[in-house]
C-alpha cells in the first residue's frame, strides 16, 4: 500500500480509502461490514471515510465498532456534516449550531475522542462562511477535530474559505472530496489547479463511477439484480453513464485492462491515482474480496501509451462539466 500526504498537511493517508456510503449500517449486514473493514486494515488501508447522514448515523456506528480493537493512532478516521439529520430547520447545514451538535453526535457514534478529518459535506449557501469556518476552528482548538476539509465545493468556494481563514487566522482546510473518475473529470478544470497551488489534497469519491468502471453493466442489457443501477434511488445518480454509448466504451476499456494484466477496476483506480494531487481514492465494498482486488491498484503505474489509449477509447463520452 502506498501512502501520501493529505495536501500540504503532515497527515499521511493510504492511497486507497474505504468508504461506507450505501453499504455499512444499511444494505450490508454488520458482520460483513466489519469483515470488510478488518480486511482493509490488514491490507494496509488506514483511511476510513464515513458521514453522519449515511443511514442516519448507522454507518458511523458500524465503522466505530469495527475499528475499536485497533490502536487509535494507527488509522485515519474521516466523517462529514451538512445534510439533514432531522426535520427541524436547524438540523441541517453548516451553522455553528448544527456543526457543533453533529460533531458531538458523530464522536459518540464512532466511539472515539477525536475525528481525524471533519469535512463539510456540501457548501451551505445559507450559513455565513465565516461562521462555518470559526466553528470548525473551535473544534480543532478543542482537540475534537484534527484536520478539516470540504466535499464537492467549487473552486470559488474553496478559494473564499482560504481567504477568510488567512484574514482571520483560522485553521485552514486541508482537503477536498470531489467526484473524479475516467468518465467524470470536471474537477480537472478549476478545482485541481486551485487546490494544487494552495496545497489542498484531493480525496476523490466514486473512482469507479458507481460501479460502471468495473464492467459489470453491459450495453443493451438491464442492470443485474442487486446492483446499484438496479436500485431506482441510486440509478438517478447514474443517468450520465448508464447509456449504451458509454457502456460500449467501458467494455473496450475492459479489454485494454486485460491486455495490461489488470482488472478494469484496478486500472480505473490507478488512472485516478496517477494525479499527484490525489491523496486517496475512496472505494466501497460489499465483500472482502473486492477490497483485496482494488487495494492492488496502489501498486500499479499506467504507461503513457495506456493512458493515451484510454482517452482514445473514451473519446466524447467523458464529461468535463457538472
Catalytic site positions? 54
Contact indicator for 284, 22 with CB cutoff of 8 Å: yes
Helix (H, G, I), strand (E, B) or coil at 47: strand
**Furthest CA-CA distance within the chain:** 56
Alpha-carbon distances, residue 51 vs 60, 106, 233, 251, 261 (angstroms): 7, 8, 19, 33, 35
Could you say which DSSP state residue 278 is in?
A: E
Backbone CA torsion sign across 269, 54, 139, 67:
negative
56 touches 26 (CB < 8 A): no
Residue 208's nearest CA partner among 237, 184, 233 is 184
Sign of CA dihedral 115, 188, 235, 220: negative
Residue 210 contacts residue 204 (beta carbons within 8 Å): no
**3-class DSSP state for residue 221?**
coil
DSSP state of 100: H
DSSP string, 145-199: EEEEEEES--HHHHHHHHHHHHHHTPPPP-EEE-B-SSSB-GGGTTHHHHHHHHT
Amino acid at each position: 500500500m502506498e501512502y501520501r500526504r493529505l495536501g500540504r498537511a503532515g497527515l499521511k493517508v493510504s492511497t486507497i480509502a474505504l468508504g461506507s456510503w450505501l453499504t455499512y449500517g444499511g444494505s450490508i449486514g454488520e458482520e460483513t461490514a466489519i469483515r470488510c473493514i478488518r480486511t482493509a486494515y490488514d491490507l494496509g488501508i488506514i483511511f476510513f471515510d464515513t458521514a453522519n447522514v449515511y443511514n442516519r448515523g448507522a454507518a458511523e456506528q458500524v465503522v466505530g465498532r469495527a475499528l475499536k480493537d485497533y490502536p487509535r493512532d494507527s488509522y485515519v478516521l474521516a466523517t462529514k456534516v451538512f445534510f439533514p439529520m432531522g426535520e427541524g430547520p436547524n438540523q441541517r447545514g453548516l451553522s455553528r449550531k448544527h456543526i457543533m451538535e453533529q460533531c458531538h453526535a458523530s464522536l459518540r457514534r464512532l466511539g472515539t475522542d477525536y475525528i481525524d478529518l471533519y469535512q463539510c459535506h456540501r457548501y451551505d449557501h445559507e450559513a455565513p462562511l465565516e461562521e462555518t469556518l470559526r466553528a470548525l476552528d473551535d473544534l480543532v482548538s478543542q482537540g475534537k477535530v484534527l484536520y478539516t476539509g470540504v466535499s464537492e465545493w467549487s473552486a470559488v468556494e474553496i478559494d473564499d474559505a482560504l481567504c477568510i481563514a488567512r484574514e482571520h487566522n483560522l485553521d485552514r482546510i486541508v482537503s477536498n472530496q470531489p467526484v473524479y473518475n475516467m468518465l467524470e473529470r470536471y474537477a480537472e478544470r478549476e478545482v485541481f489547479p486551485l487546490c494544487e497551488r494552495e496545497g489542498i489534497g484531493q480525496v476523490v469519491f466514486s473512482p469507479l463511477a458507481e460501479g460502471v468502471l468495473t464492467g459489470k453493466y453491459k450495453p443493451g442489457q438491464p442492470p443485474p439484480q442487486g446492483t446499484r443501477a438496479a436500485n431506482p434511488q441510486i440509478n438517478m445518480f447514474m443517468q450520465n453513464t448508464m447509456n449504451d454509448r458509454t457502456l460500449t466504451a467501458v467494455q473496450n476499456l475492459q479489454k485494454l485492462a486485460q491486455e495490461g494484466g489488470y482488472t478494469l477496476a484496478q486500472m480505473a483506480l490507478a488512472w485516478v491515482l496517477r494525479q499527484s494531487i490525489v491523496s486517496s481514492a475512496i472505494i466501497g465494498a460489499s465483500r472482502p474480496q473486492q477490497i483485496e482486488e482494488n487495494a492492488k491498484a496502489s501498486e500499479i503505474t499506467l504507461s503513457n501509451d495506456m493512458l493515451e489509449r484510454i482517452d482514445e477509447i473514451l473519446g466524447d463520452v467523458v464529461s468535463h462539466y457538472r
